[in-house]
């Protein structure tokens, strides 16, 4: 049976990781980005209207004002719509979804390992602290990659323009002065990353203290006179 200290540290790590999963799950269900574009028609220099795209991971909203028609609000599914336009944006969006799924998978693995360690004393293998370090560090690293890939997809690629032109009713429009802001869902990835690192810190604190305790127990034998040890 594990010591009380070990139980507390591993259960605390499991709780922190569970909270991080809840934060990530909520973040995946809410808005991630808002992009505004200005519209002109027929290649003219006069700005006729605006298009505002609000994105979640799986669905979005396009609010057009004179871009090109009088006004329209359209709801759409992100993946099918991007798949229709093709190119880099859909590939990056798929990558974001895959990375988030891996984050949830590794977090689940971390929770299972910490719960297992709280009721047993496994060897120092992938089912011990090493497993927690691996799963939680991968979750943290992949979540950082998600932050980078998503913001690149929104700000660097032509995803926003493709989405607007997909709903432009076959009327040619010129889009310019794009501006984007990240919303709550995107920023919730940051506390998820921090909590994943906190789960590692809790296990490391226990592991380091346990290692120091083992070294302290071995020291009297190491420091004993050679004659006594031979005897």
State residue 192's pLDDT score.
97
Q: What are the residue ranges spanned by the domains of the chain?
A: 4-208
Class in CATH terms, 4-208: mainly alpha
Whole-model pTM: value is 0.85
List the one residue out of 57, 75, 79, 13 whose CA is nearest residue 189.
57
The answer to whether the CB of 56 falls within 8 A of the CB of 29 is yes
Q: What is the largest CA-CA distance in the chain?
A: 99
Give the confidence band of 132 by pLDDT, cuts at 50, 70, 90: very high
Pick the more confident residue, 20 or 73: 20
pLDDT value for 127: 86
Q: What average pLDDT does the chain have?
A: 85
* More confidently predicted of 60 and 2: 60
Minimum mean pLDDT range among 20-29, 110-119, 142-151: 110-119
- Whether the per-residue pLDDT at 139 is higher than 80: the answer is yes
Residue 102 CB coordination number (10 Å): 16
Cis omega (within 30 of 0) on the bond before 61? no
User: Measured on CA atoms in the order 136, 141, 145, 151, is the torsion positive or negative?
Assistant: positive
Residues 6+ apart with CB under 8 A from 7: 118, 119
């Amino acid at each position: 049976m594990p010591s009380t200290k070990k139980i507390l540290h591993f259960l605390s790590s499991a709780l922190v990781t569970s909270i991080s999963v809840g934060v990530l799950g909520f973040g995946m269900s809410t808005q991630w980005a808002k992009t505004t574009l200005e519209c002109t028609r027929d290649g003219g220099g006069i700005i006729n209207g605006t298009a505002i795209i609000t994105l979640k991971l799986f669905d979005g909203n396009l609010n057009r004002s004179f871009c090109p028609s009088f006004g329209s609000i359209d709801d759409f599914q992100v993946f099918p719509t991007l798949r229709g336009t093709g190119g880099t944006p859909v590939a990056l969006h798929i990558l974001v979804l895959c990375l988030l799924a891996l984050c949830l998978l590794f977090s689940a693995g971390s929770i299972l390992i910490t719960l297992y360690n709280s009721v047993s004393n496994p060897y120092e293998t992938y089912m011990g602290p090493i497993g927690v370090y691996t799963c939680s560090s991968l979750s943290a690293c992949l979540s950082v990659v998600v932050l980078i890939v998503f913001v690149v997809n929104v700000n660097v690629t032509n995803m926003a323009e493709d989405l607007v032109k997909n709903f432009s009713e076959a009327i040619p429009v010129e889009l310019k002065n794009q501006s984007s802001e990240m919303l709550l869902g995107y920023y919730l990835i940051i506390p998820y990353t921090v909590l994943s690192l906190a789960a590692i810190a809790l296990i490391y604190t226990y592991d380091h203290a346990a290692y120091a305790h083992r070294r302290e127990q071995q020291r009297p034998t190491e420091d004993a006179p050679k004659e006594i040890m031979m005897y």
